[in-house]
A and B are shown apart, each in its own frame.
Chain A
Amino acid sequence: MSVGTHAIDIRTSPHIKGQLTTDTIMLHVVYALLPVTAFAVFVFGLSALLMILVTTGTCVLTEHLLCKLSRKQTTVGDYSAVITGLLLALCLPPAFPLWMAVVGGVVSIGLGKALFGGLGMNPFNPALVGRAFLQAAFPVAITTWAPAFWPKVWSIERFTSIMLPTVSLPFMRPESVAAFIQGVSLDGLSGATPLAKMKFEHQATPLIDLFVGMTAGSAGEASAFLIILGGIYLCARKMMNWRVPVSILVTASLVSGAFYLSDPQAYPTPMFMLFSGGLMLGAVFMASDMVGSPMTPLGIWIYGALIGAVTVLIRLKGGLPEGTMYAILLGNACTPLIDNLTQPRIFGARKKAVKQ
């Protein structure tokens, strides 16, 4: 037997490679978001479905076109635009006008991501940039919440008809949601979010409703349970740093716990804090975006603590019922600083040499 001619590959070490790649990570984040998304459609009906499709489509298209424009290979294949689209849809009210959703998608990718140089260079979570833009541009539409399970839990009407505001035309005043809500909230369903009820009416929503997702709110805030499930899946597969959601949620409950203990009448329980509004979605799927979060474990704890505390403070002390979005954006903004302060100590470095 002899050894004949054959192709020999020449390369420098290492010659083996871990299996986890960026596109796989992103794809699995999409998978983890699917149950949440499906549930949102179940709760809010056709309107939610349309909005999810529209934002995702817009984000992917925008990304593709911008790559084409700058004559780069398209980066749609890394699925990060899909995540942005899904997240954007999930943090908007379910009956949000579609044309505004398109604007949000374009802004998310164009301003939130491409402007900074694309994947990996964006300091802020692109979906949140889009959402913040929409909040500033359309303050009314974005705080108009549709009730969950209208008109009844097991009713197919949700899936055959569209909430009126969804299809309103650009630059027209959206159909009045208030009237729409009046029409459907017969069974005690309400269009006010649990956080708003708490803030403005001092009325708590039963915890179990919050947990399984029986409340009004943005599309993806619905079920804390499914969000946690998705988070556990990603953490177990090492595609997400578990420290991010844990640090945020722990701090949020500690801070709100302190408030609650100081005056149980005026402040909600920590459990209510955790399971209401966008905190869960934000902590698990938005703050954990690797690009905008610090790299060292210590840095992540600081980052999470910051987001958790700021969220609670805005909710309890600020003028808005919800503060997750701003808290995460603030966290993103602090990330470079945190990263700088938490550089690991080089192995074998003398203590003095670390600070330069």
Chain B
Amino acid sequence: MTFPWFGSRKTFAHGIHPPECKDLTRDKGIRRLPFAPHLILPLSQHTGAPAKPIVREGQEVVRGEPIAEPGGFVSVPIHAPVTGIIEKIGLARDARGGMSPAIFIEQYQAANQEILYGAETDIDSLSPAELVKAVQATGVVGLGGAAFPTHVKLALPEGKSVDTVIVNGCECEPFLTTDHRVMIEQVDSIYKGIRVVMRALGAKRAIIGIETNKLDAVEKLRAAIPAGIACAVEAIEAKYPQGAEKMLTKALVDREVPSGGLPIDVGVAVFNVGTLAQIGELLPFRQGLIERVVTVSGTGVRSPGNYLMAIGTPLRFILEQVGFRERECELIFGGPMMGTTIASLDVPVTKGVTGILAIAKDHPLAHRNGRVYPCIKCGACVEACPMHLNPSELGLLARKMEYESMAEQHHLMDCFECGCCSFVCPSNIPLVQYFRVAKAITRERKVSK
């Protein structure tokens, strides 16, 4: 346990302190998971237009070679994570239970899974526009969970500028230790990635924000700041949702992203530290993103750890490898606060999956579907909401289905569904769950108007 820091820790107002549960995997070095015999690569594992396949069924592919091209500017290519043969291109289950198009690859068991790559290019020899292209070609998206194509953030819109690059090493979700391990083990790649984005954006400085529960990572990165780039490493309070873009921007540079706006509106661009590590590692060699680090944890897993796994590895295979306790478990992609429950074991790991959690129903933190009491106006949700909304009031309105009033008078659309309000509510009111529905309906109404 780290000693609480009094006084000067940078942070934002409100938020919650859920139990961290990171000890299960905190000290487990990144280990490679074996290749699964069959991989599934959904064409739309990023935000934006789906990728377009450029391979045929039955075609042989070599590990690292592109198999789908971007379907537009807000889109990225997909690369073959293993050497093998394209089984088919068809529908596959996704985590939410629906079906979406995907490329299926059968691995060649005998192949040695080498990646072919060329000589290292010098990042500084590329212009910002070339860098944007090069980043898109790597297929890298926000690896902190958002899966938003990174190169889009690097292409500055007219009239905007970025003076500060913020590197997000908070990892404020309980259980997850992916970024923590990356910050300890891939220091050089991180700094290479930082150089790429700073150059592409013309930013003057970079700040790496890391929560105080990862002081070893703070020290490691601080000691390794390369000469010639203006970079600072800041320890900030361990608090959820410290890793949300707006909260982090507030904590590190004390700028408030306007309601409905993006960090770029205040001259800031925020990148997840794992994303930058991948850019730093892949871009100089013109490689593509084919694997990522995933924390596999929770009480339902026999050997929790941080595993490097091929994108497209099916969940069933992973659980077989790490040992799954046959108990009633909830399976989650991502963190417990904002992740999605998984409906089927046949879904693959995609680029945006930060963690796989198996939380047994008897875990002390597990959601118990307890009796819902009336709101007792305790104010816990008000004190927790990082957007300073009034979830209690919003919850009352949601029950009455007054969605319009919620959106217009009570700032519903500013809610980014962090879940703090539901976490703290002693009356077990499903606040954020209500808001999700309300937001969806509000969006629908806007469109149909």
Contact = CB atoms under 8 A, between A and B. Distances in A.
A11 B368 CA distance: 11
Contact of B389 (A6, A297, A346): A346
B379 A16 contact: no
Contact of A14 (B331, B336, B368): B336
B409 A24 contact: no
B326 A118 contact: no
A4 B320 CA distance: 10
A22 B380 CA distance: 11
Contact of B392 (A295, A349, A356): A295
Interface in A235-279: 241
A134 B436 CA distance: 47
A293 B370 contact: no
A13 B390 contact: no
A14 B246 contact: no
B374 A121 contact: yes
Interface string B412-425: 00100101001111
Interface in B278-298: none
A275 to B, nearest CB: 28
A19 interface: yes
A290 B374 CA distance: 12
A119 B376 contact: yes
Contacts of B324: 3
Interface in B371-385: 371, 373-380, 382-383
A198 to B, nearest CB: 36
Contact of B378 (A6, A23, A290, A347): A290
B320 A241 contact: no
A120 interface: yes
Interface in B72-119: 97
A14 B423 contact: yes
Contacts of B414: 346-349
B428 interface: yes
B229 interface: no
A15 B377 contact: no
Given A10-B343, A25-B426, A345 B388 contact: yes
Interface stretch (B185-193, B216-224, B251-259): B251-259
B377 A347 contact: no
A2 interface: yes
B49 to A, nearest CB: 26
A22 B326 contact: no
Main secondary structure of the interface of A (DSSP, over half): loop
B419 A349 contact: no
Interface residues of B, number: 75
Interface stretch (B27-35, B230-238, B305-313, B359-367): B359-367
A225 B52 CA distance: 74
Interface string A111-146: 000000111110000000000000000000000000
**Chain A contact residues (Cβ within 8 angstroms of B): what range?**
35 or more
B337 A13 contact: yes
Contacts of B261: 348
B376 A11 contact: no
Nearest to A335: B377
Q: Which one of A22, A120, A344 has the greatest number of beta carbons of chain B within 10 Å?
A: A22
Contacts of B379: 241, 290, 294-296
A16 B337 contact: yes
A291 interface: yes
Contact of B330 (A2, A9, A24, A297): A9
A3 B332 CA distance: 16
A290 B343 CA distance: 39
Contacts of A350: 258-259
Interface in A1-44: 1-4, 6-25
A208 interface: no
A16 B377 contact: no
A13 B339 contact: yes
A346 B357 CA distance: 33
Interface string A70-105: 000000011000000000000000000000000000
B443 interface: no
Contacts of A294: 379
A9 B341 contact: yes
Given A3-B319, A14-B337, A120-B373, A21 B428 contact: yes
A17 B369 CA distance: 9
B259 A347 contact: yes
B94 to A, nearest CB: 13
Interface string A313-332: 00000000000000000000
Interface in A189-207: none
Given A22-B373, A78-B373, A347-B388, A15 B332 contact: yes
A66 to B, nearest CB: 15
A305 B333 CA distance: 48
Contact of B367 (A4, A15, A290, A343): A15
Given A16-B359, A21-B426, A120-B373, A11 B382 contact: no
Interface in A330-356: 343-350, 353, 356
Nearest to A77: B371
B18 interface: yes
Contacts of B389: 344, 346
B443 to A, nearest CB: 17
A334 to B, nearest CB: 14
Given A22-B426, A346-B411, A347-B414, A15 B339 contact: yes
Nearest to A300: B379
Contacts of B316: 3
Contacts of B330: 8-9, 11, 15
B343 A8 contact: yes
Interface in A280-304: 290-297
Given A2-B320, A6-B326, A14 B411 contact: no
Interface of A: 1-4, 6-25, 77-78, 117-121, 241, 290-297, 343-350, 353, 356
7 contacts: A3-B316, A3-B319, A8-B331, A12-B340, A15-B341, A294-B379, A346-B389
Q: What 7 pairs across the A-B complex have the smallest Cβ distances?
A: A120-B374, A14-B419, A295-B379, A344-B388, A16-B365, A348-B259, A22-B373
